[in-house]
Structure formats: structure tokens, C-alpha cells
Structure 1
């Protein structure tokens, strides 16, 4: 069983590490104009997508790890100065709220790096028993930790693809 746990741990660390790498490449050299580009007034922006995927990872992993969110614990909520609830993660936000995320790329990258560090620390100690633990009984079937982690991975990767596409549109690539 230890070998299985080690393999699962390596897989999860690799997957979340790829998200970190994609956030870095998506935000590297990202200008404010491109970060806030919208092909339509109701569209998301690169800045909002990176903020949102990081908030989702932060909120879900902090819940799984039983620890405070990096967003508040490390002062990113204060640094970002967004005009909505400190608990907001982006779900159900209006186009106006999406447009309010005008944070510099370096801050987006710093927030994600801090969330990634906490995620990595948590995943280094995760066990097979942890992965099978029910973390949300409001669904049928109930959600296990492994299902929640896969959900976060899928959400992050989907939003990173959207962000990369938007960046390409804005830069004319």
C-alpha cells in the first residue's frame, strides 16, 4: 500500500506542479492591457481567470488541509484590494466584478506561488486513507478527497487554457 500511496502522491504533485508552471508561463511578461483584455464586455479576462483558479485551489485545498486560506493568512486579500467580499472566489460574479480584477501579473504569480507552496506541503504528506476520506456529503455519491483534488485540477487546467487563448487573442498570436 505504501507504494500505491507514493505513486498517487507523485502523480498529484506532478499535476499541481504543472498548474504552477502554466500560471507562470501564462503571466510571464503579461502587460496590464493584455491581462484585462476582453473580446466581449461579458467575457472573462486573463487576470480574472488566473485569480479565480488560484482562489479555487486555495479555498478547496485549505479546506482539505484544515488550515486558513493563503488569501487572507498571507495578506493577498489586502494587497489585491478587490471591491467584493474577501471570501469571493469568482463563482457567479458579474461582468463588472470580473473587470475589477486588474491586479499586476507579478501579484497574480506571487499569490499562486504561495498557494502552490501550501498545496505541495499538504500533498507531500497525503495518504491513501486521506484520499478516500469523504469531504462533502452534500452530493450523491459523497465527494472524496481524491475526487475533490481531481475537480480542482480540472477547473484550474480549464481556466488556464482559457487564459492562454485570451492572451493569444489579445496579442494577435
Structure 2
């Protein structure tokens, strides 16, 4: 069921058809930025309030840390997961720079992990959600989103077809962006098959759309249910 992002799938499909066309690169970049703006707080793009603002504006700290059913995660975990993946893929694989996450961010976030959280158990997700500083988590995601916009504005048609490098993938593993666990390590293989256009079409867009849809569904469930699978 659709809980978030009406019309965004259509924008994404259009982006997919033109993103590698040399004569469409500027339009593709504008389309990406339109889509990306709808997936981040409006403060990042300077546009009108959007569904992300609506999702986060009235959540209590406790609601970020609820796992509604055994099939779900927490909103805190999702925000971390999508921010970390966007940081790693855009910063390292697309821009060939460093990630934004560093020791200072780790300290401010009070996070027990540095990877994307793919392999965490339910108990580990709950412990992570209990520890993470929610305000700083939102600030970190905002910073990642802003840098993504800056990176995309500099891309050329040639960049769009540039393959992900083995050095970039090795860097992500070396800095702990993924762990050696099977449920985490597969990300490197998945990303290894992408070019820059392929990265833009998944981690900072399609991937985020899916997870924010979950978060909107969970918010509704949290406010309707009297019992949850896990809560802090």
C-alpha cells in the first residue's frame, strides 16, 4: 500500500529513461534534484514543506524507537540506514571523496555502529535506536542530503557512465561502511555492478522512497496500535 510519495515512481521512471543520454544530462540532473528534494526535509532544498516534513514534524523521541511488528525496523534505524548508504555511495563511489561520517559525527550521534545496519538483529536495532541521538541523526542526514545535491550539480554526461571502482568499494569496507557479515557484505557486490547513473537511481532515490513509505506506514501503526513488537 502506498503511504508516501505519490507520483515519485513516475518521476523515477522518467529519470531512468534519460539519465545516460548525453543530450539530456542537465535535464536529468534537474529531475534527480526534484526527486531528491521530495525525499529530504524541505530545509535542504529550500522548497515548500513536503511529506518528509510531515512525517518527522510531530514524532516523539519514543516513536522513533518503536518496532511495530516482527517484520519491521524502527524509524530511527531507517533514517540511519538511508543516510549511511547515501553518504557512502555518493561521497566515495560517485564523487571519489571521503564520507561525511567521522569521529566527530560518531560522538555527536552516540552511535554504537558505523556501518549501514543491514545485518543488525532485532535486539541490536532496538539497542541502536535507544542510543542514537535523534536530533543529530536528522542533522547528519541533512548534511548528507545537501552534499548529494552539491555532487550531482557537478556531474557530466561522461560521469553518468563511469563505473564504480574497486578502490571505492575497498575503501567502504576498510572504513567499516559494511561489515563482514553476509547480510552486509552483499552491498559491495550490488554496487560493483553499477555506474554513476545506476547509483543515482537507487541509493539516494528509489531506496529512500521505499524506506520512507515504510516509515509513514509505521507512524500510522504506532498511533493506532496499543501493543508493539518492540519498544524502548
In which range does the TM-score fall when normalised by the shorter chain? 0.7 to 0.9
Aligned equivalent of 1:160: 212
TM-score, length-normalised on structure 2? 0.66
Question: Secondary structure at 2:59's aligned position in 1?
Answer: coil
- How far off is 1:136 after superposition? 5.1
Aligned equivalent of 2:83: 54
Verify the 8 A CA contact 2:109 2:133 in the aligned structure 1: no
1:111–1:7 CA distance, 2 compared to 1 (3 A):
same
Confirm whether residue 98 of structure 1 aligns to residue 125 of structure 2.
Answer: yes
- 2:96 equivalent among 46, 66, 69: 66
- 1:81 equivalent among 93, 106, 110: 110
Over residues 81-123 of structure 1, what are the superposed CA-to-partner deviations in whole Å (9 max), with x where a residue is unaligned?
2223x2x111111112211223344322211110011101101
Question: Secondary structure at 1:61's aligned position in 2?
Answer: helix
User: Hey, what's the Cα distance between the residues in 2 that align with 1:107 and 1:29?
Assistant: 16
Verify the 8 A CA contact 1:44 1:98 in the aligned structure 2: yes
- 1:43 equivalent among 72, 77, 89: 72
- 1:5 equivalent among 13, 22, 25: 25
For structure 2, which runs of at least 5 residues remain unmatched after alignment?
1-20, 42-50, 167-188, 226-232
User: Hey, what's the Cα distance between the residues in 1 that align with 2:124 and 2:53?
Assistant: 24
Over residues 5-63 of structure 1, what are the superposed CA-to-partner deviations in whole Å (9 max), with x where a residue is unaligned?
21011011111111113544322221122111112356300111111111111111111
User: Hey, what's the Cα distance between the residues in 2 that align with 1:31 and 1:104?
Assistant: 13
User: Hey, what's the Cα distance between the residues in 1 that align with 2:110 and 2:71?
Assistant: 22
Question: How large is the RMSD of aligned CA atoms in angstroms?
Answer: 2.4
TM-score, length-normalised on structure 1? 0.86
- How far off is 1:2 after superposition? 7.1
- Give the count of matched residue pairs: 169
Verify the 8 A CA contact 1:134 1:144 in the aligned structure 2: yes
Aligned equivalent of 2:154: 125
Verify the 8 A CA contact 1:27 1:105 in the aligned structure 2: no
